Structure 1
Amino acid sequence: MFDFLKGKGKESKDPNATLTSPVNGKVIPIEEVEDPVFSQKMMGDGFGIIPSDGDVYSPGSGKVVSVFPTQHAVGLELDNGIEVLVHIGIDTVELEGVPFDTLVKEGDRVTPETKVSTVDLEGLNKAGKKDTVIVVFTNMDQVNDYTLNTTGETTRGTEIGTVSSK
């Protein structure tokens, strides 16, 4: 009877999102990340980047939904509803915030031009930690399709793939 009210107040989201490299460096498939939690996709699908510098940007457009107190990771929700974890380094939660500097806070709007964090790569190396930046989709039940089109050396902001929501 009130069908004309259906859909009122709900924005129609584009299900497709472009993914860009969040750092300068070498893009690798998630299966090549040197951490079984990520490489075996226990947290979701995604990709890794071995960085050539410590500036980390958003891999897409959306908003910040969580900033870890240890500053080693930032949770984003892309405009299409896909949740993304940007995790800096391997086993870096143990460093308790050193050598990271998170530049965003919960609720901030981000684009591929937004620097979300910086990391002292030399500090990670001295601490014996791998510096791979890992981008993983944590709500895989909402992912319709994910494609990584580019691997190898790339620059920050370069389109490397797409992820679409259901």
Structure 2
Amino acid sequence: MGMFDFLKGKSGDGDSAQTLMSPVNGKVIAIEDVQDPVFSQKMMGDGFGIVPSDGDIYSPGNGKVVSVFPTQHAVGLLLDNGVEVLIHIGIDTVELEGAPFDTLVKEGDKVTPETKVSTVNLEELASAGKENTVIIVFSNMDQVDKFDLSTTGETARGTEIGTISSKK
């Protein structure tokens, strides 16, 4: 229990529903429209994609960092409601071995939608022939009660785009 627990509203089990914010400026798309079958067929979990207009990537919600990949193309978060989120930057970008990416957080860091977790050089991705879609995947779907993506299309970072509820 932290001293800021009162900020979460009702006491007790915490809120199972968390608002999701767009983590990057760009076009929000359904996960089915992501150009990679591993993601579009939800093999990794449900979620959404954003075709970014800039390379500054923020957390989609409140939580903490649980994994930073050595190749820097992905960051794993645990939201305060217990849902695991994988932020995966681009498609097949693990092959770039970290070159265009800069992870700005480390394991254990608290994050909010105001936390910039990563930057990516979109020009470098383009010249490497990689799709730049930022993919947000809920990787522990057994803990997810309901995911609602209420906004698609061009959005500004920090725009409310949906909610994710966990089973409590």
TM-score norm. by structure 2 comes to 0.92
The equivalent residue for 2:5 is none
The equivalent residue for 2:117 is 116
The equivalent residue for 2:73 is 72
SS of residue paired to 1:60: coil
The equivalent residue for 1:130 is 131
SS of residue paired to 2:64: strand
Runs of 4 or more consecutive aligned structure 1 residues displaced over 3 Å after TM superposition: none
1:30-71: per-residue Cα shift (whole Å, max 9, x none)?
Answer: 000000000000000000000000000000000000000000
Which residue identity does 1:100 align to in structure 2? F
State the alpha-carbon separation in 2 of the partners of residues 21 and 90 from structure 1: 19
The equivalent residue for 2:147 is 146
The equivalent residue for 1:39 is 40
State the alpha-carbon separation in 2 of the partners of residues 40 and 94 from structure 1: 22
Cα offset for 1:153? Answer: 0.2
State the alpha-carbon separation in 2 of the partners of residues 31 and 56 from structure 1: 21
Cα offset for 1:12? Answer: 1.8
SS of residue paired to 1:98: coil
Cα offset for 1:14? Answer: 1.0
Which residue identity does 1:115 align to in structure 2? K
SS of residue paired to 1:71: coil
Cα offset for 1:109? Answer: 0.1
SS of residue paired to 1:93: helix
Which residue identity does 1:106 align to in structure 2? E
SS of residue paired to 1:18: strand
1:5-30: per-residue Cα shift (whole Å, max 9, x none)?
Answer: xxxxxx62210110000000000000
The equivalent residue for 1:83 is 84
Please give the residue correspondences for 1:39-58 in structure 2 after superposition, counting only pairs within 5 Å.
39-58=40-59
1:103-155: per-residue Cα shift (whole Å, max 9, x none)?
Answer: 00000000000000000000000001000000000000000000000000000
State the alpha-carbon separation in 1 of the partners of residues 14 and 82 from structure 2: 8
SS of residue paired to 1:86: strand
The equivalent residue for 1:63 is 64
Which residue identity does 2:147 align to in structure 1? Y
SS of residue paired to 1:150: coil
What is the identity percentage for the equivalent residue pairs of Structure 1 and Structure 2? 79
Which residue identity does 2:139 align to in structure 1? T
The equivalent residue for 1:107 is 108
Which residue identity does 1:29 align to in structure 2? A
SS of residue paired to 1:124: helix
